[in-house]
Structure 1
Amino acid sequence: MLNHDEAGTVRPLALAWVRRHLEVGERIVRTEALQGGITAEMRRLTIGTRDGGTRDLVLRTFVNVEHAEDWLNREAGTLTLLTGASVPAPELVAVDPTAVHCEHPSLLMTHLAGRTALGDEGLEARVPALARQLVAIHALRPAERPREYEALTTADTAIVPKGADAAAWTAAISVIRTPAPPYEGRCPHRDFHPGNVLFDVRLPTRAGARITGVVDWVRTSWGPADLDVAHCSTNLALLHGPEWGQRFAEAYEEAGGVLAVAAGERLFWQARDALALSEEVQLVAQAWREAGRTELTTRAVENRLDAYVTALMDARG
């Protein structure tokens, strides 16, 4: 009998589809909802193997998501590209981007060991590890260039938090009204942040931090390295304080990464990402609270975002 939690229940058509992609003699013995996903339903499927052991797969399902087909095709292509690469990522098992077989667009992949680390403890070791991993991602050279990146915000859609530093936000919005600066193309993950990176939690904090996997490759695109660095910086600033957002860019360069030379060009990408997060504060804060950061209310995250935007603008001199 299938043993599962109600939230982890797999819909009948998807269940049948998954079973068609198992090895002979394997069976699904448990399903479990995974936390952290904002746009997709994520479920871990424990598979009973022929030798009496188990292995895990992950099922990603998009329900009523406008860009589901594009995102799943991007992820499937990227996971195929990463097979055998130095970047730890899931292996693609199957994809149904247009819901031909499943109730909703879905992707099946292998499960990676490790877990996300969103707390303050061990942060000093994790930040350099994150930076080194991102440098390795940006070193990838796909045979076929992915689609050009898309801006996630505009000067007219940014949401200024209540009580924010009006002068700083006005300045930041003015920055992204200017044309995007030229850049050397890379293959950004496009959603690289601590919530999409898995760590080996068995390592003592002082011994360092070892990344076991990078997940959620649905937004992979072509653009500047600054895109990924700015996004991770913003997330670190909201999780741990503005100074950590600024520290990540330094760690990226220390790891060998190359960012825009001109300070104004770097600021463009930093401001654009911070303002993009202004439109998702409530969703991001909720996901972090569900992951254990219960103190990160929407208001608390808004305050940290305001502090980070202010710090970026103050750093201009």
Structure 2
Amino acid sequence: MVTGEGAEHIRTDLEDQGWGATRAWVEQALSEAELIEEVRRLRGGWTSEMRRLDIGGPGGRRSLVLRSFVKPFFVRHAEGLLTREAAVLRLLGGTDVPAARLVAVDALAQHCAHPSLLMSLLPGTVRLGDEGADRRAELLARQLLRIHRLPVTAEARPRTYQAWTSPERVSPPEDTEQPELWQRAVDVIRGEPPEYQACFLHRDFHPGNVLFTGDGDGLRISGVVDWVETSWGPADLDVAHCSTALALLHGVSAGMHFADRYLAVGGTLAEDGAAHLYWRLLDALAFAPDAEKVAVPWREVGRADLAPALLARRLEEYLQALFDHYA
């Protein structure tokens, strides 16, 4: 998700597509005499529409982000998703994880045109280019470890993780020349999940949900966004998700090295290679056949090279590399 640079100006009134009710709800959350001065659509989102709201008032200017679910599938699941994200943002407010501050939430669209969450704007931008990818991956590993080490009480724990695919739902590429590779991968996830030591998971941690500022030695992570899938489960699963994304974005080698980076900064993963392979494949197979649903927002923020054929090839090569390394 792009936060500011390159965001598309749309309107100042939020009245299009029946957004008047949403505008009224946002205004109720503002301080007295504050006004919405400008609205910009943020690019790079897939599950929801994201808007940057520039607010002006006697105390100066500030910016907020409005997340709204408009696709029917996510509207149906909005209560759980947005309620969970609101709870997580409250929890993270007292930690060193750079997350947005919750302003208001209307998970059932009782006041808004669509289920919505209002939060503070984080600095920085999403960076998905190949240049500097290694340095960013090091920072991603350190940030992910800090998330996993968050102390969470039993009462505050999020739900247990949910798998995003199953053997029956996997769709290999139609033109694959390695159907046996796909079948082998499906057979791995057909088994029972390995035992694991649970921790706090972002559950959708990947370069598209992390904001950066600075360059070179001054490069820093300035924000981690999209906490709607936050879960309780194995660190391997978060590492697996980021690894798959890196393999698709930058090539198989980038995806294979991320687990080593995570271990190098002090993280802990399953010692048994077969157990770790299960989590890696459980995540990777959810992207089949061509990872198009993640490619669409990635292309919006500059990765026009990520055509379906390229992503399908990288995903298949990544599956083979996982078996070569862990089987």
* Smaller-chain TM-score bracket: over 0.9
Counterparts of residues 84-103 of structure 1 (less than 5 Å):
84-103=94-113
Write out the 4+ residue segments of structure 1 that deviate beyond 6 Å after TM superposition.
none
SS in 2 for 1:246: helix
| One of 299, 302, 311 as aligned partner of 2:312 | 302
Residue 299 of structure 1, CA deviation: 1.4
| One of 86, 90, 98 as aligned partner of 1:80 | 90
Residue 163 of structure 1, CA deviation: 2.0
1:277 aligns with 2:287: yes
The one-letter amino acid of 1:15's match is R
Counterparts of residues 1-317 of structure 1 (less than 5 Å):
4-5=9-10, 9=14, 11-51=19-59, 53-63=60-70, 64=72, 65=74, 66-143=76-153, 144-161=156-173, 162-200=175-213, 203-205=214-216, 207=217, 209-278=219-288, 281-316=291-326
Gaps of 5+ in 1: none
SS in 2 for 1:187: strand
Sort the Cα spacing of 1:258 and 1:316 in 2 relative to 1 into closer, same or farther, 3 A. closer
Gaps of 5+ in 2: 1-7
The one-letter amino acid of 2:210's match is V
SS in 1 for 2:46: coil
Equivalent-residue separation in structure 2 for 1:308 and 1:208 (angstroms): 32
Q: Is this contact kept in 1: 2:41–2:52, CA < 8 A?
A: yes
Equivalent-residue separation in structure 2 for 1:240 and 1:7 (angstroms): 38
Equivalent-residue separation in structure 2 for 1:204 and 1:187 (angstroms): 30
Q: Is this contact kept in 2: 1:28–1:46, CA < 8 A?
A: yes
Q: Is this contact kept in 2: 1:33–1:43, CA < 8 A?
A: yes
Residue 4 of structure 1, CA deviation: 4.9
1:16-44: CA deviation from partner (whole Å, max 9, x where unpaired): 00000111121100001111111101000
1:277-304: CA deviation from partner (whole Å, max 9, x where unpaired): 1167222111111111001111111111
Residue 314 of structure 1, CA deviation: 1.9
SS in 2 for 1:315: helix
Equivalent-residue separation in structure 1 for 2:50 and 2:250 (angstroms): 26
Equivalent-residue separation in structure 2 for 1:22 and 1:194 (angstroms): 31
Sort the Cα spacing of 1:153 and 1:140 in 2 relative to 1 into closer, same or farther, 3 A. same
Sort the Cα spacing of 1:8 and 1:246 in 2 relative to 1 into closer, same or farther, 3 A. farther
1:82-127: CA deviation from partner (whole Å, max 9, x where unpaired): 0020100000000001111101110000000000110011111101
The one-letter amino acid of 1:151's match is A
Q: Is this contact kept in 1: 2:289–2:312, CA < 8 A?
A: no
Sort the Cα spacing of 1:316 and 1:139 in 2 relative to 1 into closer, same or farther, 3 A. closer
Q: Is this contact kept in 1: 2:21–2:113, CA < 8 A?
A: yes
Equivalent-residue separation in structure 1 for 2:147 and 2:119 (angstroms): 19
Equivalent-residue separation in structure 1 for 2:307 and 2:13 (angstroms): 26
Q: Is this contact kept in 2: 1:164–1:303, CA < 8 A?
A: no
The alignment yields a C-alpha RMSD, in angstroms, of 1.7
Larger mean CA deviation between 167-176 and 102-111 belongs to 167-176
Q: Is this contact kept in 2: 1:31–1:44, CA < 8 A?
A: yes
The one-letter amino acid of 1:157's match is R
The one-letter amino acid of 2:208's match is G
Equivalent-residue separation in structure 2 for 1:86 and 1:44 (angstroms): 24
Q: Is this contact kept in 2: 1:7–1:33, CA < 8 A?
A: no
Equivalent-residue separation in structure 1 for 2:12 and 2:237 (angstroms): 34
The TM-score, its normalising length taken from structure 1, stands at 0.94
